[in-house]
Amino acid sequence: MKIAEGVYLHFIKSNKFKTNHIKVRFTGKRDKRTLARRALVAQMLESVNSIYSTQQAFRQELARLYGASFSTSISTRGLSHMVDINISFVKESFLMSGDSILDSLLSFLEAALFHPLVSVAQYKPKQFDIEKQNLINSLVADLEDPYYASDLAVRELYFGDTVLKYSKYGNPELIKKEDSYTVFQEFQRMLQQDRIDIFVLGEVEDYRVIQKVNHFPLEDRKSSPQFSVEHQFTNITREKIERRDTHQTILNLAYHLPVTYGSDDYFALLLVNGLLGGYAHSKLFTNVREKAGLAYTIASQYDVSTQYLKIYAGIDRENRQRTLRLINQQLSSIRLGKFSKREIEQTKKMLVNQARIAEDYLDSLMELRYNKEIYGEQALELEEWLQKINTVGKKDMMRVAQQLKLQALYILEGQ
Q: Rounded CA gap, 254 and 409, in Å?
A: 6
Contacts of 126 (CB under 8 A, 6+ apart): none
The answer, yes or no, to whether residue 114 has pLDDT greater than 70, is: yes
Query: What pLDDT is stored for residue 54 in this prediction?
Result: 93
Q: What is the rounded average pLDDT for all residues in the chain?
A: 95
The strand pairing partners of 78, in sequence order, are none
Give the C-alpha separation, 22 to 366, whole Å: 10
In the DSSP assignment, the letter for residue 15 is -
Q: Is 6 helix (H, G, I), strand (E, B) or coil?
A: coil
Give SS3 for 9.
Answer: strand
Per-residue pLDDT averaged across 186-205, rounded? Answer: 96
Residues 142 and 81: beta-carbon distance below 8 Å: no
Q: How confident is the model at residue 95 (pLDDT cuts 50, 70, 90)?
A: confident
User: Taking 90 as the threshold, does the pLDDT of residue 11 lie above it?
Assistant: yes
Amino acid letter, residue 197:
D
pLDDT value at 129 more than 70: yes
What's the distance, CA 359 to chain centroid?
Answer: 18
Return the pLDDT at 190. Answer: 98
Cα Rg of the chain, angstroms: 23
pLDDT at 100: 78
CA angle, 177 as apex, 175 and 183 as ends, to 5°? 70
Other C-beta atoms lying within 10 Å of the C-beta of residue 410: 26
On whether the CB atoms of residues 55 and 134 are closer than 8 A, the answer is: no
Residue 407 clears pLDDT 90, i.e. is over it: yes
SS3 category, 260: coil
* 15-25 pLDDT, tens digit each: 888 899 999 99
| H-type alpha helices, 288-381 | 320-335, 341-358, 362-375
pLDDT at 94: 80
Residue 186: enclosing H or E segment and its boundaries? Answer: helix 180-193
For the stretch 232-282, pLDDT in tens is 888 899 999 999 999 999 999 999 999 999 998 999 999 999 999 999 999
Banded pLDDT at 98 (limits 50, 70, 90): low
Q: Which of 67, 116, 60 is nearest to 87 (CA)?
A: 67
96 pLDDT more than 80: no
Mean pLDDT for 201-217 is 95
pLDDT 10s digits, 52-90: 999 999 999 999 999 999 999 999 999 999 999 999 999
* Residues 327, 255 contacting (CB under 8 angstroms): no
| Residue 221 pLDDT | 95
pLDDT at 187 over 70: yes
On the question of pLDDT at 99 being above 70, the answer is: no
Cβ burial, residue 388 (10 Å; 0-12/13-18/19+): middle
d(CA 179, CA 241) in angstroms, rounded, equals 35
* pLDDT tens, position by position, 308-367: 999 999 999 999 999 999 999 999 999 999 999 999 999 999 999 999 999 889 999 999
Residue 200: CB atoms within 10 Å = 23
pLDDT at 97 over 90: no
